Structure 1
Amino acid sequence: MTPELIGLLGIAALLVLLAIGVPIGVGLAGVGLLGLAVLISPEAAVIKGGVIAFETVMKYELGVLPLFLLMAHLCFAAGASRDFFDVAARFVGHRRGGLALASIAGCAGFGAISGSSLATVATVGSAALPEMRRANYQPGFAAGALAAGGTLGSLIPPSGALIVFGIIAEQSIGKLFAAAIIPGLSQALFYMVAIGIMCYFRPALGPKSARVGWRDRLIGLGRIIDILLLVVFVIGGLMIGWFTPTEAASVGVVAALGLCVLRGAFNRRAIGDAVASTLRTAGMIYVVIIGAILFASFISVTGIADVMSQWVRDMHASPVLAIVFMALLLLLLGSFLDGLALMLLTTPIFLPIAVELGYSPIWFGIFLTRAMEIGFVHPPLGLNVYVIQGIAKDIPLGAIFRGIVPFLVADFFHLALIIAVPALTLWLPSVTGG
């Protein structure tokens, strides 16, 4: 049996394990260890697994992950969960679809402190969906806007997905964060344009709300100034070189602690809950990263990536055509794999091919995260849709998926733009130095 065939069987086995509900990290590590045992030897595979686990846990760069998670949980403890939506609603709620526009803005703002799609849609959705329903928004449209907006949490820095990709692909996390800013903001803009077009032709989807005076708007804006300053200072300092990623995350934790003090949320229970939540999430992600590196080592030994690269070269297809085919395959896999599993499964295979085609690994990280985000909302998996349905159980899943369709169209156009214009991703890292 050739190494390439063993690699294909390993990928198929991993897909089966994930489909039957085996945890991502366990599946990746199990297939990686077993594959290495077959290809090299059981003793060498065990030694390799131990070395990878030790080196991963000891990596200085990996400290950025629990620190940014702690920063986010401290911001939650300080009461930043619904402020972004409230402020946006005061400014644009009086327009057609204004509360839907506010939900997108709220998701973008909250995504800058949460780094998670599911956390963003759950938090902003619990605040925004009742408001939109009270304003007589069409339920499917309102739920669809929130499910789509929640995906912004995976791309806008500090993104947990980009941190994981940077560690797996050995790329600069600072450059990935810088590269994500323009695609993240343009993604939010595409969603807002979609809302504007839908509400222009069908005003009943999102009726106007009462106009709020400037005094109340400025009062609301004052509630998020401290959070905005924290995000700008941490991410901006990282981008212009004041901090390394780990230093930026450390500064963010200290600033978030100061935020808790200023907002009167600094107490033993709040800090304890934040630390406990951080440890649970970070522990799970550490297991996933160790498993992913083991799986990547297995894939590297099989030579599948080299075979696929040679196959692409023999096709004499243009790089854009090859990337489009890759995007279609990612969207297909995203129909039954969750986002993190999709990223960890495909990075060891697709990244070498993208580099062979002349694409930057930084660009590929944004492209992969963007494709992963679409998987959060398109059927049949669509985890964000199920989160929203959990908040509003009376809205049928079918209605939410129908409400998602216009946002999926916007997603496809946005992904096509990222493929067609790589400078959209690479310009900011080039001028900031990452």
Structure 2
Amino acid sequence: MSQMLYDTAATGLVGVAILLVLLLAGGRIGAVLGLVGLGGLALVLGPEAALIKGGVVVVDTFTRYELGTLPLFLFMAQIFFAVDASRDLFDAAAKMVGHRRGGLAYASIAGCAGFGTINGSSLATTATVGLVAYPEMRKRGYDQGLSTATIAAGGTLGQMIPPSGALIVFGIIAEASIGRLFTAAIIPGITQALLYALVVFILVRLRPHLAPAGERAPWSERWQALGRIWEIGALVALVIGGIAMGWISPPEAAAIGAAGALLIAALRGRLNRDTLFTAFHETLRTTGLIFLIIIGALIFSIFVSVTGLADAAGAMVEGLGLGTFGTLLLVALILLLLGTILDGLALMLLMTPILLPIVEGTGLSAIWFGVFLVRAMEVGFLTPPLGINLFVMQGVAKDVSISRIFRGVLPFLASDFFHLLLLILFPAMILWLPEVLGS
């Protein structure tokens, strides 16, 4: 009787509403997802069946081979934190282009992109590159709004450019190939960085006082700076290239990355007991948190599935007769609106079970949706009132008001919206490379 009464899309919609309220009230993402999902399953299927399904999810999650990718990449990132990789990457970019007008802004974007390949977190990328880049830009007389906005926007590259923690989580939730997701994100990540550089180029041409030209570094200093990052570049090329070419699986690549990071730290004389303890501690803490979130999200996805909410939402959108382009625009609008009030990971875990079937109904794959979703999440990192990257940047640049950072980031947000439109108009930007490489 309970199943007959509550096995409806309306029950799923109420569950989503409760989840949204709890998240906005500050509830822990993993706990809220799991509790709402279990409560909903108990209502629809009965308490015993709900506990059994929850137990199956826990066991299945902890025994998934590909889940080992996450802690290994996190460990690699922690080791690179210890060897000041962000400073070396920014310094190399600054030595190459810092003499040009806006050169340090270009270097910040390049530094964020480079650090994103070894980190996978937008917040960490913004904070670490900001600590290095902002003082240099301030010393050279760069406009504060341009400086902080460039770093905050560039920091979002940490979420897109592989290896990306968000893409790993999406791949597990949506049961999509993590290797194909990583490969699919390469072109969007590069074009995103290029658009940010284009924004800087336009701004400094229209208003030259925003970013004065600097002194040209001699080639001896440039080669020295490049020499400090060659081993990091080689390791990243091996890890990402190996995945893209299909030579190694993501877990194998993560193991190579972690081992390579340890070797680099040892060669630089930075591998000691304190470094290892901090790296292991932070990796285990973050991994435990993400595992809890994944388990909660999977339980919530089962609840959404058994209530038929995803099917009902798909039927409703199909009934609107918007066509492929209109449907994808609607999906983008939903993601952008919710991204202004929800944390990026919460947005992903809440909307994936509902929107993924709608996107697949247009003929696009989970691979396309995963990359597009992460791209939309990044926009949320820059959009008021949440705009968490902006607040992280304000914490680094305490002498700059948050309102000034908000104003400075507007041109970068415009480029983000344009980039999302390009991904909708030209899905091959995401899907072409995995098909060509057969990854």
The structural deviation recorded for 1:248 is: 0.9
Spell out the pairing of 1:55-74 with structure 2 (5 A cutoff).
55-74=60-79
Secondary structure of residue in 2 paired with 1:147: helix
Residue 50 (structure 2) aligns with: 45
CA distance in 2, matches of 1:124, 1:197: 23
Which segment is superposed worse, 258-267 or 121-130?
258-267
The structural deviation recorded for 1:106 is: 0.3
CA distance in 2, matches of 1:120, 1:359: 31
Residue 201 (structure 2) aligns with: 196
State which of 119, 131, 135 in structure 2 corresponds to 1:114. 119
Residue 324 (structure 1) aligns with: 329
The structural deviation recorded for 1:253 is: 1.1
Structure 2 residue 295 is matched with structure 1 residue 284: no
Structure 2 residue 412 is matched with structure 1 residue 407: yes
Letter in 2 for 1:72: A
Residue 231 (structure 1) aligns with: 236
CA distance in 2, matches of 1:115, 1:234: 13
State which of 149, 157, 166 in structure 2 corresponds to 1:161. 166
Residue 249 (structure 2) aligns with: 244
Letter in 2 for 1:80: A
Secondary structure of residue in 2 paired with 1:328: helix
The structural deviation recorded for 1:136 is: 1.1
CA distance in 2, matches of 1:312, 1:395: 44
Q: Is the 8 A contact 2:335 2:376 kept in 1?
A: yes
State which of 270, 274, 281 in structure 2 corresponds to 1:269. 274
Secondary structure of residue in 2 paired with 1:380: coil
Spell out the pairing of 1:1-400 with structure 2 (5 A cutoff).
2=6, 3-400=8-405
CA distance in 1, matches of 2:266, 2:396: 31
The structural deviation recorded for 1:356 is: 1.0
CA distance in 1, matches of 2:233, 2:305: 42
CA distance in 1, matches of 2:26, 2:318: 36
The structural deviation recorded for 1:96 is: 1.3
5+ residue gaps, structure 2, are: none
CA distance in 1, matches of 2:55, 2:365: 31
Which segment is superposed worse, 245-254 or 193-202?
245-254
Query: What RMSD over aligned residues (CA atoms) do the two structures have, in Å?
Result: 0.9
The structural deviation recorded for 1:239 is: 1.4
CA distance in 1, matches of 2:246, 2:326: 36
Secondary structure of residue in 1 paired with 2:386: coil
State which of 418, 422, 427 in structure 1 corresponds to 2:427. 422
The structural deviation recorded for 1:79 is: 2.6
Secondary structure of residue in 1 paired with 2:228: helix
Secondary structure of residue in 2 paired with 1:212: coil
5+ residue gaps, structure 1, are: none
Q: Is the 8 A contact 2:368 2:430 kept in 1?
A: yes
Letter in 1 for 2:388: L
Length-normalised TM-score, structure 1: 0.99
What is the percent sequence identity of the aligned residues? 57
Secondary structure of residue in 2 paired with 1:81: helix
CA distance in 2, matches of 1:338, 1:187: 21
Aligned residue pairs total 434
CA distance in 1, matches of 2:397, 2:150: 14
The structural deviation recorded for 1:313 is: 2.1
CA distance in 1, matches of 2:398, 2:26: 24
The structural deviation recorded for 1:408 is: 0.2
Letter in 2 for 1:401: F
Deviations 1:85-144 (A, max 9, x none): 111111111111111111000000000000110010000000001111111111111111
Letter in 2 for 1:420: L
Q: Is the 8 A contact 2:9 2:309 kept in 1?
A: yes
CA distance in 2, matches of 1:144, 1:411: 13
CA distance in 2, matches of 1:259, 1:78: 8
CA distance in 1, matches of 2:52, 2:399: 53
CA distance in 1, matches of 2:15, 2:399: 41
Letter in 2 for 1:407: F
The structural deviation recorded for 1:37 is: 0.7
